[in-house]
Amino acid sequence: MIRLEYLHVDKVLGKVGNGCTEPLDAILSSGQRVIVKPFNNIQGNLVLVNEYISYRMCRKLDLPIPEAGIAKIDEKTEYDEKDLSAENYGYCFYSVRIDKVAPVNLAIIPRITNKEDFYRLILFDHLVYNKDRNRGNLLVTSGKIIQMYVIDHTHVFKNQAIWNKNELQMGMASDDFNDHDIVDSNQQIYDLFWEYLNKDNDILLRIAQEFRMKLQLQDLEDFINELPESWRMSNDDATALKEYLMYRLGHLDEICTIITGR
């Protein structure tokens, strides 16, 4: 385990109001306003693993994602009993809150300054087997400069909040890089962007090559080693996850064909 300096959640302001993990609006010891997914949340602690590893991968692969990390909730955290309890004491995942954002819609896409990042987004979704890309986790800012941000990766690695070694190994054995499930499940959000962007296989292949250059096995090992012990998956599950992600990384060129239908 890599020893990190974790921030403290000083105050919980309340529940955000949506999201299956019942996220919280909170303030860190750094003064940052954040969205927190707490320890022992209703979806389980594996979703915290999913969030953190996906965040670290997004950063490595240059996807537009808000700053995030790990913080601690304890008896010194100020909160209302309707929002939190002592069972939630421990390490949580946080994402810095971005003000004045709204879900993406068709009319706003031409004005998004980084809409070309969609190519990275769709390839990333396929890399982590994310079937849960929707308008609620693809946000755009308002104002003169409109930017797109990706958030919420609780339901990744194919089996979402309940993946394990056996499921990942079965995916590799069945060549699941050929699956159309991701394109089909996320079609509504993807089609918004295909209204304005070409399904250019060459662009996707170039980005796939970038992904393979930027993301190495050692990076995945580092990301896993950064996890708090209380979140930890078994060594077998951790090894299988690394193998699964490297397997999908190695098949990104074939995945590009699935995306473009060519």
Average pLDDT over every residue of 105-132:
96
Q: Taking 60 as the threshold, does the pLDDT of residue 221 lie above it?
A: yes
Same domain, 148 and 85: no
Q: Which one of 50, 76, 96 terminates a domain?
A: 96
- As a whole number of angstroms, the distance between CA 135 and CA 187 comes to 11
49, 162, 167, 171 from 234: Cα distances, Å: 12, 13, 14, 19
CATH of the domain at 79: 3.30.200
Q: How confident is the model at residue 21 (pLDDT cuts 50, 70, 90)?
A: low
Residue-level pLDDT at 262: 67
**Is the domain of 49 the same as that of 152?**
no
pLDDT of 225 higher than 90: yes
* Residue 212 DSSP SS3: helix
Q: Are residues 222 and 125 in the same domain?
A: yes
Amino acid, single-letter form, for residue 59: R
Instruction: Please write the tens of the pLDDT for every residue from 135-176.
Output: 989 999 988 899 999 999 999 999 999 999 999 999 999 999
> What confidence category does residue 4 fall into, taking pLDDT thresholds of 50, 70 and 90?
low
Same domain, 168 and 245: yes
Any domain includes 1: no
Q: Is residue 62 one of the residues assigned to a domain?
A: yes
Residue 234's CATH number: 1.10.1070.20
78 within some domain? yes
Is the pLDDT assigned to residue 22 strictly greater than 90?
no
89 and 138 fall within a common domain: no
Answer with the one of 45, 76, 96 that is the final residue of a domain: 96
For residue 88, tell me if it sits in a domain. Answer: yes
Among 81, 96, 111, identify where a domain stops. Answer: 96
The number of distinct structural domains making up the chain is 2
At a CB cut-off of 8 Å and minimum separation 6, what does 254 contact?
177, 178
pLDDT band at 18 (very low <50, low <70, confident <90, very high): low
Are residue 89 and residue 181 in the same domain, yes or no?
A: no
pTM attached to this predicted model: 0.95
* 127 and 248 co-located in one domain: yes
Mean of pLDDT over the chain: 94
Q: What is the pLDDT of residues 33-82, one digit of tens each?
A: 999 999 999 999 999 999 999 999 999 999 999 999 999 999 999 999 99
Q: How confident is the model at residue 181 (pLDDT cuts 50, 70, 90)?
A: very high
Q: Residues 128, 246: one domain?
A: yes
Question: Does residue 204 belong to any structural domain of this protein?
Answer: yes
Q: Is 2 inside any structural domain?
A: no
Are residues 26 and 92 located together in one domain of the fold?
yes
Residue whose entry in the numeric block shows the structure tokens 């953190």: 52
Residues 200 and 139 in one domain: yes
105 with 220, same domain: the answer is yes
Domain housing 218: 101-260
Q: Is residue 186 pLDDT above 60, yes or no?
A: yes
- Is 110 in the same domain as 194? yes
* CA-to-CA dists, residue 133 to 17, 121, 123, 239, angstroms: 19, 10, 12, 26
